[in-house]
Structure 1
Amino acid sequence: MRQMIAKADLVKTDAEIVQLLLPGACVEPLEIDFDRAEKNVREVRVTVNDAFHGQVQIDGVRATRSFPFRGDRMLFTLRPNQWSSAIPYAEVGQASITIGIEGRNNAETIKQELDRQQKILGEYTEWSTTLINQHNARLEGLLAAAVARRREHLASLEDLKSRI
């Protein structure tokens, strides 16, 4: 608060100061556009377990789905209060997130795994959105209390100045 509210700002009411600070303090929840998936498949060498030879390399595929998103990409690094032992793994770009799988060229298995990953990603996004909305709902009251404390502190400095 010290950097945001100076003595000169105190000509405004606490409510006015809060309204000025509120937009910068609110967190925008992540919004993933699952309807605009960009799908990609390419050949790769993959290591698989063979009953007779142990681990062997075969010709396989890497299948991915990329989704555009809005919001702060750093929110993907946070774990919400509600979570599952199945954690989503993805590559996060500036404005897209990519899930994927490498394995044998088996369309049904690959689709099932990508669907599973997409479902987990959606759940985590919903859980984080719930927490962000709760945070944003409490924010005005928290800012009002912080502004009041800052005003009181600055007033105590003025009082100290007049007494010395």
Structure 2
Amino acid sequence: MILGGALFWKASLSGYLRGQLSGIENHVRSNMSAAHLGSTDDEVVTSMIDHARVGSLTVDFENPDRTVKEKRISVRDHFSGTVEIDGVSVIKSFQFSGHEPLFDLRPNSYDTAPPHGIVSRGRVAIGYEGRNDPDEIKSAIADQEAQLKKYLDWSKAEVDTHDQSLPRLLKAAVERRRQALIELSKLNDF
């Protein structure tokens, strides 16, 4: 049995990214005041870009932690119902960097078999519990790792496209905010 819940499946990544884009105007309005009128638009954008950037997930597949433990597991058969047998729990985990909630967001490209795993404390773990069948276990873990890599690539492509559009969108919002602040300052002498 594969461990963990479906990754990249709970909500739409594109919906999340659209929400981020719709917040640009409010972010600029909240963070750009008349004090910024002495700075260039590019300087203001540079000061805001890191906060606006989502950034893709990066997983260190080269240095996994592996855990193999004996474990009593429940299995069902057609004659006895559920019985407890000796089995194994095998977990392979990888350190990651990036915004952890991205593991919950389904990219525009996806298939009907998302990877399953557990995300916690900067690590993503894939695993298997069941009978001690090394070939089956290795195959199941390899399949989950391949799916994880595929979904990470799909997510990265979408997030990177979003992040590349930010300087242009932020600059346009900064220009609009600058104009609004200039118009507002014209009221200072009434």
TM over 0.5: yes
In 1: Cα distance, 2:82 partner to 2:182 partner: 72
Greater Rg by CA: 1
Aligned residues with identical type, % of pairs: 39
Q: Which amino acid aligns with 1:128?
A: S
Aligned match for 1:102, one of 126, 129, 139: 129
Deviates more, 1:15-24 or 1:152-161: 152-161
1:78-89 equivalences under 5 Å are 78-89=105-116
Matched with 2:30 is: 3
In structure 2, runs of 5+ residues without a counterpart are 1-27
Matched with 1:63 is: 90
Map Cα deviations across residues 25-67 of structure 1 (whole Å, 9 max, x no partner): 2232211111211111112222212121122221211111011
Aligned match for 1:148, one of 164, 175, 183: 175
RMSD of aligned C-alpha atoms?
1.6
Map Cα deviations across residues 128-157 of structure 1 (whole Å, 9 max, x no partner): 110111011111101011101211222232
Q: Work out whether residues 92 and 98 of structure 1, in 8 Å CA contact, stay in contact via their aligned partners in 2.
A: yes
1:6-155 equivalences under 5 Å are 6-155=33-182
Using structure 1 for the length normalisation, give the TM-score.
Answer: 0.91
In 1: Cα distance, 2:166 partner to 2:138 partner: 41
In 1: Cα distance, 2:72 partner to 2:188 partner: 74
In structure 1, runs of 5+ residues without a counterpart are none
Map Cα deviations across residues 90-126 of structure 1 (whole Å, 9 max, x no partner): 1112221111111101101111111111111111111
Q: Which amino acid aligns with 2:93?
A: S
Structure 1's consecutive aligned runs of 4 or more residues displaced over 3 angstroms after TM superposition are: 159-163
Q: Work out whether residues 65 and 98 of structure 1, in 8 Å CA contact, stay in contact via their aligned partners in 2.
A: yes
Using structure 2 for the length normalisation, give the TM-score.
Answer: 0.79
Deviates more, 1:22-31 or 1:146-155: 22-31
Q: Which has the higher contact order (CA 8 A, sep 6+)?
A: 2
